[in-house]
Amino acid sequence: MLVVFFALLLSFSSYMVARLYIQGQEEQAAFDQLTDSVISQNDTFTSEYENSDGMQTTSKYTEYLSIYKKNNDFVCWINIDGTLVNYPVMYTPDDPQYYLRRAFDKSDSQSGTPFVGEGGNINSDCFIIYGHNMDNDSMFGTLDRYKEAAFYKKASTFTITTLTERRTYEVFAAIETYVSDEEGLYPYKYSGNIDLKDYDDLTNWLLDHALYDTGVFPSYGEQIVLLSTCSYHTKNGRFVVAARRIS
């Protein structure tokens, strides 16, 4: 009887693993279709669109205008060469974690969609983008490649493109932390506009806890973005890539 029980348990576990895998693949396929729907443009040109406030705004990068028209929670697109990170980023200030378990079309999703965290926005002195660390490497599942200095040397910069500009960010620190106490939560409390002291406190903390020395030192006035995902190096672990805007 015990043998039958364990056989059934194994079968059920295998079924659940397969189900989650298939679900993850289907969710990634939906993002692939979204990416394919973007019309690539080598040159910038202008086009008017109506923003969430009902105002007419000019866009330079109309390849992302089509994404915005599908869902006006879309705020930017992040792309990191050498990883699978190539996704829309969502912004819902009244409910920052709305896309934690929702797809771009707002349907239920284990993978969720990368989103801007509480307290900041894409124009703040510092803002945070969260994404799940998925087993199939989707979302921020390949962000942890930055744990190796050798990878950083090949991909020290990445792009974030809004409806109106293409930005370049330079990585200056990659850290492993945790969210079990105040010390581990330290970098997350600086999302938003910060003064010189807080800026220096944040950047010094990140540099002191970095896995390796990048030789990059942000200066006050340079915008900071933190890319955050789960990490399994410890209980409640997080992996954070910190970057400064350089263009």
pTM: 0.85
Contacts (Cβ under 8 Å, ≥6 apart) of 137: 84
Q: Torsion-angle region of residue 98: left (phi > 0), alpha (psi -120 to 50) or beta? A: alpha
Token digits for 25? 């693949």
Fold entry, domain 73-245? Sortase; Chain: A; (2.40.260)
pLDDT digits (tens, 9 = 90+) for 88-114: 999 999 999 999 999 999 999 999 999
Structure confidence at residue 98 (pLDDT): 98
Compute the half-sphere exposure of residue 145: CA atoms within 13 Å on the CB side of its CA: 18
Token digits for 216? 């990059």
Written in H, E and C, the secondary structure of 33-75 is: HHHHCCCCCCCCCCEEEECCCCCEEEECCCCCHHHHHHCCCEE
Residue of 76, 126, 132, 209 marked active site: 132
pLDDT (average), residues 111-135:
97
E strand intervals along 83-147: 86-90, 115-116, 126-130
In the predicted model, is pLDDT for residue 221 greater than 90? yes
pLDDT digits (tens, 9 = 90+) for 17-65: 445 455 556 678 878 888 887 755 444 556 666 665 667 766 666 678 8
Best CA proximity match to 134, nearest among 235, 222, 20: 20
Q: Give one DSSP letter per residue of 168-216, joined into a string.
A: EEEEEEEEEEESSSHHHHGGGGG-B---HHHHHHHHHHHHHT-SS----
Q: Is 230 a catalytic residue?
A: yes
Residue of 76, 126, 209, 230 marked active site: 230
- Residue whose pair of structure tokens reads 């997350």 in the numeric block: 188
Q: Is 76 a catalytic residue?
A: no
